[in-house]
Amino acid sequence: MKKHLAHIVISRNTTLWLLASLLLAFAPHILHLPVTLTALCLMFGIWRFALERRSTTILPHRIFRTLLLCTTLVIIYLHYGTLFGREAGIALLACMLALKLLEMRSVRDYIIAILLGYFLAITLVLDNQSLPMAAYMFVVAFMLTATLVDLNLSQKNRSISINLKLTAKLFTQALPVMLILFFLFPRIPGPLWSLPDDAHSGTTGISDEMSMGSISHLSLSNKIAFRVAFEEDVIDNNLSYWRGPVLWQTDGKNWHTGDNTQINREISYRPMGKPIHYTVTLEPHNQKWLYGLDLPATAPSQATINRNFQLVTKEAVTELMRYETTSFSQYQTGPLTHNEMQRALQLPANRNNRTVALGQQWQQKIQSPQAIVNHALQYFNQQPFSYTLKPPLLGNNPVDEFLFETQRGFCEHYAASFTILMRAAGIPTRIITGYQGGDFNPIGNYLIVRQRDAHAWAEVWFENRGWVRVDPTASVAPERIEDGAESAFSELFDRQSTLQFNNRFLTSNWLKLRYGWDNLNNSWNQWVIGYDSLKQSELLSLVGIESIKQMAITMGIAVITVLSALLLLSMRRNKQKQDAVSLIYQRFCQKLSTIGIQRQPHEGPLDFAQHIITLRPDLASQILQINDLYIALKYRPRHTQQQIKRLQQQVQQLKI
């Protein structure tokens, strides 16, 4: 190996290639790394760049480098409290790589730096597995490979076009290996590595607690919560309620699910109307539930339905999950248990007294619970309430302040105050959180539900009907329910649509583009990210492979086949390279054999040329030229690449 590397000359260009590609691999990490570390890494890179610019090979002294190393380690430790784990590990890798730049001297160092660069690039997927990131990583890998190629190209042949061609060739050759590994490499169910807890720490979306303002902050997020493909027609927007956590318990300010001891038993209801079948692709949110259309009837294999009619899972959803389920939009649930009744009427003492008083007043005034509910909805509709993403801050009695003073709120304000009012009026009520609405993507034919579609609504329980969904927000801002969050807050979302796109044509094209892009992302999620152990075994059973063992054997055979094919190819290539001249001469002989002049294996070039010329005197000058060149190349001490080219040309041009 050493001997093999000895003749490689490192040029300044190689270093520049390396620095550029490492910068590319590093760039996305800037978002996560602390500023000090980013600055440090960039500084090391710029330092090396400056050295390269001045064409000096005087690298910092060893002691100095050791000092830098210690400093870096201390900074990482101070920031993360550890040197291991995902975040700290990435920081460590990036810093070590940047430090490596300051001691890079031999070819071996360069190769290590390049390999570490690949590793740094692959850590990018820990944060982001989207299609753009994959494309970006492809660019990074290409650059790193080009650096590797540049390092190995001989001094004479170094040119960008040769390099890029060679790299592209390498990538093309790697493609079948990539596909084989992608499809056949055994997939492990669940997260790939059992990383420390921080691996999937960030929960996104709805949580199982609610306070005033907790949902409205989601409403600015365009991030996708899940996508839904319906088997039949897409449901109407006003039925598009996606059920998440059910909140019972309140202290007047915050709402949570409360006592969980009883709800984990399964329950069923009396469905009515047509069943709705659909498939949800849920983005990981690190919570132990799935979203189902109000009201889910069957649980997918990964989940169960609890007494709240919520789809719950055993493990938090940490990777993209695809599940099929069925819901009914019309239903009748059964009676409440004593405990449930109590919890559905629970009110905190000495909080929101004015609201409670109003509810009690309605209870005395109005007879039937149904009428009380209607009255409350009318109240919301007729009083000067407004629906806003930026509700004012509320104090210790938030519902009182909201109902009687600010009167500006988001869905959680209406759901919470409605629930307090109903409970005060003696009607069992609870809050449901989840999503409402979504955009329909006509290109991919599926519904996109985003974080901004997060919603909270209420359910009241009537003696004869069971739980009934009541959405007070609909009374205040019916357009939110009918047309979705986007239209309700059009001034906030998609400035583009209100800014320049007055032109109808442009607008429609813009929409098409957006839906097309999301469709692409969806396919990426479904087929690339979502290619899990389940899909793999489905695919493999199609070709008759049933077990992991069989797959391992198949993969082994495939790998060995590919490797031996590559080995054979490279051996042949080597041999050819060894004697390009002989190869050209062989072609020359082949050409002559077509006119019946056969070279004997022991026939030397002079004899053969004589042989040809006696048979075909007309070819004499061409043959002699070729022969002279061949002799010079094969039997004389020194020759040039150009001579080989000339020989090749002359053999090609030989007309017989």
Residues of this chain that interact with other proteins (CB under 8 A) are 582, 601-607, 631, 634-637
Minimum Å gap between C-beta 630 and other proteins is 11
Task: Give which of 252, 244, 165 is closest to 207, Cα–Cα.
Answer: 244
Helix (H) or strand (E) holding 380: helix 369-382
Q: What is the 3-state secondary structure (H, E, C) of 342-409?
A: HHHCCCCCCCCHHHHHHHHHHHHHCCCHHHHHHHHHHHHHHCCCEECCCCCCCCCCHHHHHHHHHCEE
Q: Report the run of H or E that residue 312 belongs to, with start and end.
A: strand 311-313
CB of 584 to other proteins, least distance (A): 14
Nearer to other proteins, 448 or 612 (CB): 612
Strands 466-470 and 321-332: unpaired
CB of 7 to other proteins, least distance (A): 19
Beta strand 321-332 with 408-409 is unpaired
Least distance CB 602 / other proteins (angstroms)? 5
CB-based contact 624:609 (threshold 8 Å): yes
Residue identified by tokens 């365009």 is: 222
* Sheet strand arrangement including 303-305: 289-290, 311-313, 303-305
In the complex with other proteins, which residue's Cβ is closer, 5 or 631? 631
Token pair listed for 244 = 């998440």
Beta strands in 333-411 (DSSP E): 386-387, 408-409
CB of 598 to other proteins, least distance (A): 13
Nearer to other proteins, 426 or 605 (CB): 605
Shortest Å distance, C-beta 648 to other proteins: 19
Distance CA 228, CA 473 (A): 24
- Closer CB to other proteins, 27 or 606, in the complex: 606
Q: Which is nearer to other proteins, 128 or 641 (CB)?
A: 641
288 vs 639 by CB, closer to other proteins: 639
The residue among 446 and 630 lying less far from other proteins, judged by its C-beta, is 630
Minimum CB–partner distance for residue 599 and other proteins (Å): 9
Output the smallest distance, CB 545 to other proteins, in A: 48
Reading the block at residue 311, the tokens are 């789809």
Please identify, using beta-carbon distances, which residue of 138 and 635 lies nearer to other proteins. 635
Q: How far apart are CA 343 and CA 146, in angstroms?
A: 66
**Dihedral angle computed from the Cα positions of residues 508, 509, 514 and 519, in that order, rounded to the nearest 10 degrees:** 100
> What does the block give as tokens for 192?
């790939």
**Closer residue to other proteins, CB minimum distance, 523 or 578:** 578
What does the angle CA 511 – CA 514 – CA 516 come to, to the nearest 5 degrees? 105
Cα 255 vs. chain centroid, distance in angstroms?
A: 33
Kindly tell me which of 127 and 628 has the beta carbon lying closer to other proteins: 628
Q: 243 in helix, strand or coil?
A: strand
Least CB distance to other proteins at residue 635 (A): 5
Nearest approach, Cβ of 616 to other proteins (angstroms)?
A: 20
How far, in Å, are 169, 215, 274, 560, 568 from residue 572 at the CA level? 17, 66, 67, 18, 6
Cβ proximity to other proteins, 538 vs 607, nearer residue: 607
Q: What residues pair up with 440 in beta bridges, in sequence order?
A: 447
**DSSP code string of 421-480:** HHHHTT--EEEEEEEE--EEETTTTEEEEEGGGEEEEEEEEETTTEEEEE-HHHHH-HHH
| Shortest spacing between CB 651 and other proteins, in angstroms | 17
CB of 607 to other proteins, least distance (A): 6
- Residue 127 or 603: which CB sits closer to other proteins? 603
Task: Find the radius of gyration of the CA atoms of the chain.
Answer: 36
- Enumerate residues 6+ apart whose C-beta is below 8 A from 500: 506
